[in-house]
Structure 1
């Protein structure tokens, strides 16, 4: 069974790119905004990785990432950020929220794929976190 990735970005082109680049090896679910992503997660979906833009149209900058990082259920899901924010600022925020990897737009899809493989292959906490918090 393929590992699952939730990709969140308001850009249809970025969502399509992520689906295209990652879809061969992973099941990629996309969401255009933070509320859609949280709704999908609330249906007891637990992806192996979440890739999100730090700036989403329906939330303040970093709000979704902050919510996920502080959630008892979702905080153990690895996060990757793709943003157009200043690299130094984004790096500091990513470190604050425990983000696994940070990419600045525009990004190299090959580098992103390598980072995704590394993050997913090194993660073993997600399944046990879901079992612990689902009851």
Structure 2
């Protein structure tokens, strides 16, 4: 069974790109807002990874990240941050929760795909992957 990645980004072109580059290996759930992502989380199985645009408008990436990281159900999901800023330090200062990787936009799709594969494989090796029925 394919592993699942939840992609949360307000830019349709980024959602399409990530679906294209990751869709052959993973089941991809797309959300154009953090509200949509929360609804998806409530209605579906826990994803193996979340790719999150930190600067998404409205209920933003920072709020979404805080919500899932304080949650008992979602706190262990690995998170990859996408951001318009090329400097992760200001974002890291705002985020007291761990993130697994950071990619400034524009990002290299091949590097992102490689990181996603590495994170998911690492979690499987260490027994942190979710159990499928």
- Give the TM-score, by structure 2 length: 0.88
Distance 1:61 1:31, change over 3 A: closer
Structure 1, residues 109-133: CA drift from partner, whole Å, max 9, x if none? 01001100111001132426x9xxx
Q: Is the 8 A contact 1:91 1:102 kept in 2?
A: no
State the partner residue of 1:105: 105
Calculate the aligned-residue CA RMSD, in Å: 1.9
CA distance in 1, matches of 2:121, 2:60: 31
In structure 1, runs of 5+ residues without a counterpart are: 131-135
The separation in 2 between residues aligned to 1:120 and 1:61, in whole angstroms, is 21
Distance 1:126 1:74, change over 3 A: farther
Residue in structure 2 matched with residue 133 of structure 1 by the alignment: none
1:117 maps to 2:111: no
Name the residue aligned to 1:33. Answer: 33
Tell me the SS of whatever aligns to 1:127: coil
Corresponding residue of 2:48: 48
Q: 1:64 to 1:126 in 2, by over 3 A?
A: farther
- d(CA) in 2 for partners of 1:61, 1:46: 18
Higher helix share: 1
Matched length: 129
- Distance change in 2, residues 1:93/1:112 (3 Å): farther
Structure 2 alignment gaps of length 5 or more: none
**C-alpha separation between the residues in 1 aligned to 2:50 and 2:75?**
11
